């Protein structure tokens, strides 16, 4: 069995399952009408088309919501709707999700139907207010739901307990795309198959929202990457140019680390409307201007993030004995603190909440891992917070600044009540296979690995582990010598270079040391030459 076949087998892929995984079949998509309330939603939207009512798409300000909004705008235009608007809340004005003020504004503008994307499942009072104003609401969402649904015409969410859908981990844009597929059965204007041109948006939102790239998500992203390579959208072409992403080499990493951060920067610093305007731009010049604006915002975001991280790290030292970090500062932009929380989780190997103190109120984000649910911990502090929600691994919370210390105590008590053990080990990279030597770690092998794309949550890049290799050379790099390149040799004398950026101190092994390394094989191209090297993920001295 070849090394590639061993990796497939380690992931439970053989025979037909392996073939389906390596070449996903778009036609194996699930019936959209298996989603709860889909029939009700379609009936109401068809009625809106017959009456030519004004419709407003209400999207979230992150990339999942922005791509879902664009999918719905494109689809309703194709279906012949003449009066469709989009409302993207401002993180710093309306905050997350539906708000009563926004609903009242939208109603005053003549809207008769609101279609939410990537939000709305918990918006009970906001939807009650919409109904009072004569506005119907169709919710499409993928976030956690309550036992009682809000009084919308339809609440399409695969996480509802009464769902019959075979796959519940769709992104918000994935749910919106299912609504489009359902509408195709009832409305002319978007022939079956034409919706595939929207897969560039579906792929972008799905990868960047870090949902599991399995089942229907894998199908959508696999084909969506191919659509994105030849996208018809001037905005996405411009964004790829600004981000220096070559369409021919586009992969899921390009979405998650190049395109996504630039789009999300708009909502983190100013307004996500900048990113939506880029997606909707029909003119190449305007598209490029918007893409450059997003690039500038992303550079500013990175600078702010570095500053906040330094301050938060100093504060984290005060609480490093606690199992959960709760940190706050008055100058920490709450649009950025979620990224900072992720960095601190990685550094301290603890669930982390980072908040901006805005006078009497504080708002922030959490990142978690393992058996600790960030959102369940927030619910355990329900009596001392103003608002909170999200997922197991990422959540948001708003509370009175005076309650931060009590909140810190409450989430740590919740952690201790779970009796979790050995959580830090869950953050260590898990190898797919243990290899004896580097003989099969070749350029052809790395090329084979690319057939497992798209990589992401639920389908990580393959990881190899090898024991008892000898460090031949160590090279420190970077302005602060924070990066390391190791030249290591296996028992047969074959050598491979291992590279780690911002490496922890124990990665700086000295020549002559015998080490065990965990790495991802990659192709390095420099001055027209290609070579295989390893992305060093973990290193242990000795066997």
Give tens-digit pLDDT for 343-368: 999 999 999 999 999 999 999 999 99
Q: What is the pLDDT of residue 269?
A: 94
Same domain, 198 and 123: yes
CA 529/CA 531 separation, integer angstroms = 7
Question: Percent of the chain at pLDDT above 70?
Answer: 100
**Comparing C-alpha atoms, which of 203, 191, 176 is closest to residue 73?**
176
Does 531 share its domain with 390?
no
Same-domain status, 466 and 412: no
* Whole-number average pLDDT of the chain: 96
The answer to whether the bond into 7 is cis (omega within 30° of 0) is no
Residue 146 domain-assigned (yes or no): yes
Write out the two tokens for 277.
């305007």
Q: Tell me, yes or no, whether 11 lies in a domain.
A: no
Q: What is the pLDDT of residue 96?
A: 82
Are 44 and 155 within one domain? yes
pLDDT surpassing 90 at residue 526 = no
| Residues 394 and 453 both lie in one domain | no
Contact 468, 491 (CB under 8 A): yes
Whole-angstrom Cα distance, residue 105 to residue 410?
37
What pLDDT, on the 0 to 100 scale, is given for residue 101? 96
Is 265 a member of any domain? no
Instruction: Of 160, 151, 145, 155, give the one whose Cα is nearest residue 132.
Output: 151
Contacts of 467 (CB under 8 A, 6+ apart): 434, 516, 543
Choose the final residue of a domain: 152, 187, 210: 210
With beta carbons less than 8 A apart as the criterion, state whether 491 and 484 touch: no
CATH number, position 339: 3.10.310.30
The structure tokens 């030849």 sit at: 230
The verdict on residue 6 lying in a domain is: no
Rounded-to-integer distance, Cα 388 and Cα 384, Å = 11
Looking at the fold, whether 116 and 35 belong to one and the same domain comes out as yes
Query: Phi and psi for 5 in degrees, rounded to 5?
Result: -65, -35
| C-alpha to C-alpha distance for 312 and 32, rounded to whole angstroms | 45
- CATH code, 525: 2.40.50.460
Q: How far apart are CA 66 and CA 206, in angstroms?
A: 11
Average pLDDT over residues 309-333: 97
CA distance 474 to 488: 9
Residue 269 lies in a domain: no
Lowest-confidence range among 106-115, 440-449, 474-483, 519-528? 519-528
Confidence of residue 288 (pLDDT cuts 50, 70, 90): very high
How confident is the model at residue 364, as a pLDDT? Answer: 96
Last residue of a domain, one of 182, 210, 238: 210
First to last CA, the chain: 25
Total domains present in the chain: 3
Classify residue 536: in a domain, yes or no: yes
In a domain, 308, yes or no: no
pLDDT at 94: 87
236 contact partners, CB below 8 Å, separation of at least 6: 200, 204, 228, 259, 279
Domain of 454, in residue numbers? 433-541
Tell me the DSSP string of 495-529: EEEEEETT--GGG-PPTT-EEEEEEEEEEEEETTE
Q: Are residues 381 and 467 in the same domain?
A: no
pLDDT at residue 146 is higher than 90: no
As given in the structure block, the two tokens for residue 374 are 């960030």
Please tell me whether residues 165 and 24 are part of one structural domain.
Answer: yes
Q: Same domain, yes or no, for 488 and 402?
A: no
| Domain match, 79 and 137 both | yes
On whether both 334 and 438 belong to a single domain, the answer is: no
* Same domain flag for 54 and 171: yes
CA distances 452 to 251, 256, 321, Å, are 11, 17, 41
In a domain, 296, yes or no: no
**Domain end point (choices 388, 420, 452):** 420
pLDDT value of residue 543: 62
Please write the tens of the pLDDT for every residue from 403-462. Answer: 999 999 999 999 999 999 999 899 999 999 999 999 999 999 999 999 999 999 999 999
**CA-CA-CA-CA torsion sign (150, 154, 157, 163):** positive
What pLDDT, on a 0 to 100 scale, did the predictor assign at position 40?
A: 98
Q: Phi/psi class of residue 189: alpha, beta or left (left: φ > 0; alpha: ψ in -120 to 50)?
A: left
14 CB-near residues (< 8 Å, 6+ apart)? 8
Q: pLDDT value at position 92? A: 87
């Amino acid at each position: 069995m070849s090394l590639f076949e061993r990796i497939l087998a380690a992931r439970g892929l053989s025979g037909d399952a392996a073939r389906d995984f390596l070449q996903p079949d778009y036609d194996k998509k699930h019936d959209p009408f298996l989603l709860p309330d889909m029939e009700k939603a379609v009936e109401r939207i068809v009625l809106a088309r017959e009456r030519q009512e004004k419709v407003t798409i209400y999207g979230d300000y992150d990339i999942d919501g922005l791509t879902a909004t664009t999918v719905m705008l494109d689809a309703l235009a194709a279906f012949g709707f003449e009066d469709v608007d989009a409302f993207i809340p401002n993180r710093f004005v309306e905050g997350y999700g539906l708000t009563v003020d926004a609903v009242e504004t939208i109603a005053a503008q003549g809207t008769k139907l609101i279609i939410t994307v990537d939000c709305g499942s918990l918006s009970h009072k906001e939807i009650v207010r919409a109904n009072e104003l004569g506005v119907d609401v169709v919710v499409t969402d993928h976030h956690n739901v309550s036992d009682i649904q809000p009084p919308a015409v339809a609440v399409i969410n695969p996480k509802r307990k009464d769902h019959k859908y075979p796959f519940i981990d769709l992104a918000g844009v994935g749910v919106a795309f299912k609504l489009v597929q359902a509408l195709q059965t009832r409305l002319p204007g978007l022939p079956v198959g034409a919706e595939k041109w929207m897969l560039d948006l579906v792929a972008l939102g799905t990868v960047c929202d870090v949902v599991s790239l399995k089942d229907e998500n894998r199908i959508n992203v696999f084909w969506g990457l191919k659509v994105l390579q030849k996208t018809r959208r001037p905005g996405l072409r411009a964004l790829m140019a600004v981000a220096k992403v070559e369409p021919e080499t586009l992969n899921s990493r390009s979405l998650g680390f190049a395109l996504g951060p630039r789009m999300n920067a708009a909502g983190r610093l100013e307004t996500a409307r900048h990113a939506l305007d880029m997606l909707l731009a029909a003119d190449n010049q305007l598209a490029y201007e918007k893409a450059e604006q997003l690039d500038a915002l992303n550079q500013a975001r990175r600078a702010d993030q570095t500053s906040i991280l330094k301050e938060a790290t100093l504060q984290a030292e005060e609480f490093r004995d606690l199992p959960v970090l709760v940190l706050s500062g008055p100058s920490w932009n709450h649009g950025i603190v979620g990224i900072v929380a992720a960095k601190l989780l990685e550094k301290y190997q603890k669930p982390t909440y980072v908040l901006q103190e805005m006078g009497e109120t504080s708002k922030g984000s959490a990142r978690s891992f393992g058996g600790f649910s960030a959102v369940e911990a927030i619910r355990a502090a329900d009596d001392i917070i103003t608002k909170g929600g999200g997922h197991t691994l990422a959540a948001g919370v708003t509370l009175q600044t005076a309650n931060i210390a009590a909140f810190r105590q409450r989430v740590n008590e919740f952690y201790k009540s779970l009796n979790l053990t050995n959580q830090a080990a869950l953050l260590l990279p898990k190898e797919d296979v243990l290899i004896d030597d580097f003989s099969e770690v070749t350029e052809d092998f790395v090329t084979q690995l690319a057939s497992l794309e798209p990589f992401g949550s639920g389908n990580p890049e393959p990881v190899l582990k090898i024991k008892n290799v000898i460090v031949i050379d160590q090279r420190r790099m970077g302005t602060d010598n924070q990066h390391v390149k190791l030249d290591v040799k296996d028992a047969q004398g074959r050598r491979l270079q291992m590279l780690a950026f911002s490496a922890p101190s124990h990665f700086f092994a000295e020549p002559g040391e015998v080490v065990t390394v965990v790495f991802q094989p990659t192709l390095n191209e420099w001055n027209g030459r290609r070579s295989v090297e390893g992305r060093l993920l973990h290193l242990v001295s000795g066997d």
